[in-house]
Amino acid sequence: QETKKKLDSKELENEQLHKALNKAKREAERAVVAKDNFLSNMSHEIRTPLNAIIGFSDILKKEKLNDSQIDLIDTISNAGENLLSIINDILDLSKIESGQFLLEKKPFSPAKALKAVCEMQSEKATEKNIKLEKEIDDTVPELVLGDVFRLSQITTNLINNAIKFTQDGFVKVSASADLLDDDNCTLTIKVQDSGIGIPEDKQQLVFERFTQADAATSHKFGGTGLGLNIVKLLVDKFNGSLSLESKVGEGSVFTVSIPFKIERELEEAKQKEIP
């Protein structure tokens, strides 16, 4: 009788605990949804006036203006662009973290995607006297199945950083692939720079949100500490891996490895078209 009483009260205790836990879970989930909605609404509200600031400064630049007026308008326009990219990063982070985030699965050419990303960054590299090199190994399949937009976002963020933290040197982007079987490969993209490098004790921290390796230099170079966090979250979504080797004063190498299904049907269809 005594043991049964004890068991009953234990069961009751467990049930109460279970209920409390579920309640806390529901509340936490509601808080996350509220935070995501808030971020998303705020970002949209900020984006509209920002687009007006950027758009109208670009129109103003076409008027007859003296050099110092052009400089001022350029400053307004650049500040607007910077703010817009921060807002876009915040919006993107909450999107990637939300349960509904899915990667596309469409055929694309990794070589063409990397070429496009490098071309977009080449002007910035030239301005800083950086040689931007690209090397695509023969092992990289012509077509793979996946999300080209998100893969390009990963490489853009890495190349952007490599250029930002380098002056008068090189940035080398290389890609290679390891065949796992007939239909699958691991694509490895390396972004190497000869820039300022990252101290060993900061190398894991830089992937965390809002974290910068060194407050003083980061202040000089600008940025928010969101780029690498987005890279890390996206690489996780791709079921890939991410690593960093770096030495202060010598440079850094970021390596991303992602599994991809190789698209062969389109390749074969293309070959059949050739007489």
CA-CA distance, 146 to 231, in Å (whole number)? 16
Query: 188 pairs with which residues across the strands?
Result: 176, 257
Q: Least distance (Å) from ligand ADP to the CB of residue 115? A: 21
Instruction: Look up residue 205 and give its DSSP letter.
Output: G
Minimal distance, residue 252 CB to ligand ADP, in Å: 4
Find the residue with minimal CB distance to ligand ADP: 223
Q: With contact defined as beta carbons under 8 Å apart, do 117 and 152 qualify?
A: yes
Which is nearer to ligand ADP, 141 or 195 (by Cβ)? 195
The smaller minimum CB distance to ligand ADP, of residues 90 and 262, is found at 90
Least Cβ distance, residue 207 to ligand ADP (angstroms): 7
Specify the residue, 108 or 165, whose C-beta has the smaller distance to ligand ADP. 165
Residue 232 or 261: the one with the smaller Cβ distance to ligand ADP is: 232
196 vs 262 by CB, closer to ligand ADP: 196
Q: Which is nearer to ligand ADP, 226 or 262 (CB)?
A: 226
Residues that bind ligand ADP (CB under 6 A): 161-162, 165, 193, 195-198, 206, 212-214, 218, 223-229, 252
Question: What gap in Å lies between CA 242 and CA 233, rounded to an integer?
Answer: 10
In the complex, minimum distance from the CB of residue 164 to ligand ADP, in angstroms, rounded to a whole number: 6
- Count CA atoms closer than 13 A to 107's CA, side-chain side: 9
Number of alpha carbons in the 13 Å side-chain half-sphere of residue 88 = 11
Q: Which two tokens stand for residue 116?
A: 């496009």
* Minimum CB distance to ligand ADP, residue 36 (Å): 21
The residue type of 62 is K
Query: Taking a C-beta distance cutoff of 8 angstroms, is the pair 43, 87 a contact?
Result: yes
Q: How far is the CB of 43 from ligand ADP (least distance, A)?
A: 17
User: Is residue 134 within 8 Å of 98, Cβ to Cβ?
Assistant: no
In one-letter notation, the amino acid at residue 139 is: T
Nearer to ligand ADP (CB atom), residue 57 or residue 188: 188
Q: Can you tell me which residue has the tokens 């990063």?
A: 89
CA torsion, ordered 217, 220, 225, 231, to nearest 10 deg: -90
Report, in Å, the least distance between residue 243 CB and ligand ADP.
13
Strands 170-179 and 131-136: parallel
